[in-house]
Structures are given as C-alpha cells and as structure tokens.
C-alpha cells in the first residue's frame, strides 16, 4: 500500500496530529541507540488511548502493515529500528500515571511513562521503584518490559519481570488482554504476562502496566575500590557478600574510568590508577553495618586484593561515585562502540573473562576495549571502540566475525548472548548460541499464536519460517 493510502486510512482512525510523515519524525522514531541501521519507516503514529492502539493494529492486520512499537528508543540491539517501511507506533503520548494503590503497594501506569517518573512518583509516597539504569530519564516502561530491563541493582532487586504485577497488551490481531490484574498470587494456569515481558514487541504492544513498589533504601552508601587484577574482583564479591546485603556490585576498567573523568570532569576516586575498579552499594542503616564494610575493606587490603578505596560520606559524593560507573555508556557513545552484553553463572565468570580476554587481545591488538559490568549477577559488557580511521561498515563487519568466537565461548559456558539489552536485529544471527533448535520451534509457535498476521515488529528476535 502506498503512503497516500496509508494516510487516508489513518485519517479515518486518528486525529491529524496523531500521525506524521515528516522527515525529522521518521528519522527520530525510526531508530534506537544502536545507530547501525538506517531508519526507513513509512509513517509514525501516536496513539493516545488503548482504543487507538487496537484500531491501528486491526487496520494493520487488514492491510498488512508491519508495525514497530516505539518507547524511549534507548535500546542497544536494534529492537526499535524501523528499516523496511514499517509503521512506527510511538507510545510517547500514552504517558500518564493512572492510579496509586497503597493497599497493594503498586502503581498503574501507561506504557509511555518514563522510568524516572515512576521512581519519583514512588518517592513522593515514601516508596521505591528499584529498576534503575543510566537511561532511566528517557527510557519508557513499555520498553523496559519489552526487553525485561535489568540495570544496576539486579543483585538485590531482580529484573523488570520481578516488578510487573499486571499487564494490558494489545496482541497482533488487535485483542486486548488484561493479564494478572495486579495480584500477588494467582495460580490459574499459564501466566501469559511473562510471555510479553522480554518479547520486544514481537507478540503485541504493551499499553499499561501495574508495577510493584517497595520500601526506600535506608542510608545507602557507595564504596569504590581499586583492585590489581580481575581475580581480586571475584574474591571481593565473595568477601563483601558474606558480610553485607549488597544492592549493587559493579566493575569497570581503568580505561573506562579515564574516559569518563576526561569527558565529565569528575574527579578520580583516589590518586593512583589501578587496573580495575569495583563499585559496591549497601544500606548503612546502622553503625554496625558501616563498621562491617570497613572491616571487609581492611581485610582485603591486608590480602592484597585492594590497593585503595573510598566510601561515600554525603549525597554529592554518593552520586559522583556512581557516575563513574553509570556515565560509561554515554561517554563511549561518541566512539561508536560495538557492544556485547553477555552473561554466565557467577561461578564461571573468572574463567569466562580469561577466555574472552584472550580472544580480544588476539583479534583487537590495536583497538581500545572497554570492560564494565554487573559482576554481582554475572553480566559483562564488552565494548570495542571504533578506530577513527576505520569506516563504520568495515568496523562492524570485523566485529561480527569475532562475535562468532566470543559467542562460542558463551555457548560453552551455557551463557546468554544478551543479558539485558534484548535480541532485536543485532543479536538475532547469534540466538542459536543460547537457544536450542527445540526452543526455537516453540518460540515460533508462540509468535504465531499471538501475531497470526506477522505484523508485530517483524524480523526482530527471530525470522519466521513460512507455514
């Protein structure tokens, strides 16, 4: 169908300001943070209500329009990229907090609500929404659900999945499903809510979510430690976890720190550089807890696992120390990094890192490689920075070749090729390193059940075989 015909149909369904073919909108809404895919949507639509979404999906079924759901577009796997004339369905205007339910300690929101809005709303009531990451100020709840977003506090609070008490979704044939209704206990067969969490918009469009909240952390503190090698990182994780209830346990390389401090002007945590850094967070809700933390630090110092360290003393220092870790992604974005977001069981992390490091050293001897990650949950981020003199096409091609070696190691340790960024377009060719052929059969069957016309984010996660 030609664009003029599409616009004619949309004109009968939506107000004129609810769809656009302006070039700026097509470029803006047709891509996500990967920036590796040329945006080529045909039109962008802006539903305001659930009924609008249903009308769009039903028209798409009738006319064969491929749809790409769009949230904050902060994804890093091309899951929100529209590259083949798709219609982008932006949830930007479905951005209301609908209801606070104090008895159940949860909040009902539209899918376009920004993550930080939920966090700030919860704090107004003395509560806490703990799913947090660097893009919280622009990512949207629908997108978080679509990728089962993790972030910096998974070690204590889990993933987005653990906080979704209810969902409303419009399926690929326009049906509205109201899943679980916010209940904590519901043993009535298959919990369809969890099929949509992490489905990247390939089964339907999330339009509303009921999110659980919890108590605010008490006196959170951050400690940054300089360590001589990666082996020390794992020893520190064991030492501190045995003594403290950690909210986060992160690591990053000295190269990552140098790039962040140069880009942001933030001070280094201490004068002398070390090969790696550990950042950990805990609640110092009593003097005894802080004393335990310091005892762990001195024990590690005596063992030689730590070379230096600093403990936050006020809110400003707390935030600045966290920025040393959280600002890495934004800092390296100007280098057009090729990102790998991989995970294994924590017990495998030391050997896994050594194997991956050997591949990186062999294949990228002259390239800058930035390591950081959520060691407390086995999630590692490997970032290859593009040399300035190298064309983006050649850079990506070379990285993709090495991916096969990296993912072969992931497969050997029975890990994941995508811990928290999703599959999208970028990771789709490698899904078989994590999912078995038998699983792929079931994944395709689920896709067909919820998206019988094949219109929902086609080409993402997996390719559908003809019936």
pLDDT tens-digit series, residues 287-342: 999 999 999 999 999 999 999 999 999 999 999 999 999 999 989 988 889 989 99
Given a cut of 90, is residue 133 above it in pLDDT? no
DSSP-derived letter for residue 32 is -
Question: Which has the minimum average pLDDT: 23-27, 69-73, 133-137, 266-270?
Answer: 133-137
Q: What is the CATH number of domain 97-215?
A: 3.30.465.10
Cβ–Cβ < 8 Å for 423, 200: yes
Please tell me the distance from the alpha carbon of residue 362 to that of residue 359, in angstroms, as a whole number.
Answer: 5
pLDDT reported for residue 1: 62
Q: Which residue has the higher pLDDT, 33 or 212?
A: 212
Could you tell me the fold of the domain covering 3-90? 3.30.43
Q: Looking at residue 138, what DSSP letter applies?
A: T
* pLDDT recorded at residue 467: 54
pLDDT value at residue 3: 84
The per-type count for the chain, helices as H runs and strands as E runs, is 15, 18
Q: For residues 349 and 410, what is the distance between their CA atoms, to the nearest angstrom?
A: 11
Contact in structure between 33 and 423 (CB atoms under 8 Å): no
Residue 271: CB atoms within 10 Å: 8
Is residue 190 within a helix (H) or strand (E), and if so which, with residue range? none
Portion of the chain with pLDDT greater than 90, in percent:
87
Q: What is the pLDDT of residues 273-297, one digit of tens each?
A: 999 999 999 999 899 999 999 999 9
Whether pLDDT at 359 is above 90: yes
Q: Where are the domains of the chain?
A: 3-90, 97-215, 220-329, 336-432
Average pLDDT over residues 437-465: 95
Question: pLDDT category, 466, cuts 50, 70, 90?
Answer: low
pLDDT digits (tens, 9 = 90+) for 85-132: 999 999 999 999 999 999 999 999 999 999 999 999 999 999 999 999
Band (10; pLDDT cuts 50, 70, 90): very high
Task: Report the mean per-residue pLDDT for the chain.
Answer: 95
Mean pLDDT to the nearest integer, 2-14: 92
Same topology for domains 220-329 and 336-432, yes or no?
A: yes
The angle that helices 230-243 and 349-363 make with each other, rounded to 10 degrees, is 160
Mean pLDDT to the nearest integer, 218-241:
95
CATH of 220-329, one of 3.30.70.2190, 1.20.120.1080, 3.40.120.10, 3.30.930.10: 3.30.70.2190
Third-level CATH fold of 336-432: Alpha-Beta Plaits (3.30.70)
Report how far residue 191's alpha carbon sits from residue 1's, in angstroms, rounded to the nearest whole number.
37
């Amino acid at each position: 169908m030609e664009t003029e015909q599409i616009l004619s149909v949309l004109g009968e369904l939506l107000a004129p300001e609810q769809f656009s073919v302006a070039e700026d909108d097509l470029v803006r809404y047709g891509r996500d943070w990967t920036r590796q895919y040329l945006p080529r949507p045909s039109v962008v639509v802006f539903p305001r209500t659930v009924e609008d979404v249903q009308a769009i999906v039903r028209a798409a079924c009738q006319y064969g329009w491929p749809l790409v759901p769009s949230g904050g577009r902060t994804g890093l796997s091309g899951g929100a990229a529209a590259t083949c004339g798709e219609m982008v369905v932006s949830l930007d205007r479905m951005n209301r907090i609908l209801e606070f339910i104090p008895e159940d300690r949860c909040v009902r929101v539209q899918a376009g609500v920004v993550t930080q809005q939920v966090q700030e709303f919860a704090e107004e009531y003395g509560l806490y929404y703990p799913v947090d990451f660097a893009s919280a100020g622009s990512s949207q709840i629908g997108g978080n659900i679509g990728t089962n977003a993790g972030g910096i506090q998974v070690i204590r609070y889990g993933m987005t999945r653990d906080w979704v008490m209810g969902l409303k979704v419009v399926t690929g044939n326009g049906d509205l499903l109201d899943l679980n209704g916010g209940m904590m206990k519901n043993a009535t067969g298959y919990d369809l809510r969890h099929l949509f969490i992490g489905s990247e918009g390939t089964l339907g469009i999330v339009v509303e979510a009921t999110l659980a909240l919890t108590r605010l952390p008490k006196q959170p503190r951050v400690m940054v430690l300089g360590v001589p090698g990666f082996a020390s990182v794992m020893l520190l994780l064991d030492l501190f976890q045995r003594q403290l209830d950690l909210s986060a346990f992160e690591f990053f390389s000295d190269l990552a720190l140098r790039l962040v401090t140069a880009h942001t002007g933030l001070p280094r945590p201490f004068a002398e550089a070390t090969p790696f850094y550990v950042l950990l967070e805990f609640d110092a809700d009593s003097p005894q807890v802080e004393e335990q933390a310091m005892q762990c630090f001195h024990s590690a110092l005596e063992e030689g696992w730590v070379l230096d360290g600093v403990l936050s003393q006020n809110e400003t220092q707390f935030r600045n120390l966290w920025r040393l870790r959280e600002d890495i992604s934004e800092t390296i974005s100007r280098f057009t990094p090729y990102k790998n977001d991989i995970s294994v069981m924590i017990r495998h992390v030391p050997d896994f890192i050594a194997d991956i490091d050997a591949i990186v050293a062999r294949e990228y001897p002259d390239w800058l490689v930035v390591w950081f990650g959520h060691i407390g949950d086995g999630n590692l981020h490997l970032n290859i920075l593009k040399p300035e003199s190298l064309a983006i096409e050649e850079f990506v091609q070379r990285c993709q070749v090495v991916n096969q070696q990296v993912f072969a190691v992931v497969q050997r340790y029975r890990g994941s090729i995508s811990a928290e960024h999703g599959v999208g377009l970028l990771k789709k060719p490698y899904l078989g390193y994590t999912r078995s052929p038998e699983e792929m059969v079931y994944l395709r069957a689920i896709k067909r059940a919820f998206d019988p016309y094949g219109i929902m984010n086609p080409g993402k996660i997996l390719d559908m075989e003809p019936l």
